[in-house]
A and B are shown apart, each in its own frame.
Chain A
Amino acid sequence: GESVGLHLPTLSVQEGDNSIINCAYSNSASDYFIWYKQESGKGPQFIIDIRSNMDKRQGQRVTVLLNKTVKHLSLQIAATQPGDSAVYFCAENIMNRDDKIIFGKGTRLHILP
């Protein structure tokens, strides 16, 4: 069945280091992927998205990589800061279809001082 999963429920990273959060998806037809960040006491917030015709997309301090061969998605955060502490969700969808977005379970990112 369809599923979007993250490899690790928790990730601890030293402040200033780069963080890499991974996600695997199973639906080969998925062609649109999104990363959301959820801070404590808040709802999920859009970070970055990528379409399947791209392998990489960069934002401010974040980069998303897509490997369609192995159905793998990753979010890289450069120079991790305390404000990056949150739960990160990947989500997949199929563009131009009226399907619901499928969310993964999330990875909690802890920033170590």
Chain B
Amino acid sequence: ETGVTQTPRHLVMGMTNKKSLKCEQHLGHNAMYWYKQSAKKPLELMFVYNFKEQTENNSVPSRFSPECPNSSHLFLHLHTLQPEDSALYLCASSQERRSNEKLFFGSGTQLSVL
């Protein structure tokens, strides 16, 4: 209903697994974002893509690897994660990467790392 769809909604993985999170937006936006939401912590920006180019990587460990094949799709590839990586991963989009742009969020993927 927000125009941003994330799959899967829930994911349980072991520390040696490789999985990917998918995000698709139907809003015609040019900027896409990955956020991490942990309990009792503010939203943490992970990556930003603007017109398919990565513009920000906020010191995210290399076990998280983003991919943006086009302006409508965003992936987050996961490998050898740690239990502390368990969190809600939110994708968002905006018209462009500007400071006063409204963000449109997906419903997130609830990730549990065992």
Contacts and interface: CB of A to CB of B under 8 A. Distances in A.
Interface string A38-81: 00011111100101000000000000000000000000000000
Nearest to B1: A42
Contacts, number: 60
Nearest to B42: A103
Contact of A94 (B42, B90, B99): B99
Chain B interface bracket (under 10, 10 to 19, 20 to 34, 35 or more): 20 to 34
A32 B55 CA distance: 21
Interface in B86-114: 90, 92, 97-100, 102-108
Interface string A5-34: 000010000000000000000000000101
Interface of A: 4, 9, 32, 34, 36, 41-46, 49, 51, 89, 93-106
Which 8 pairs from chain A and chain B are nearest by CB?
A: A43-B105, A103-B43, A103-B42, A93-B99, A46-B102, A100-B45, A95-B100, A44-B105
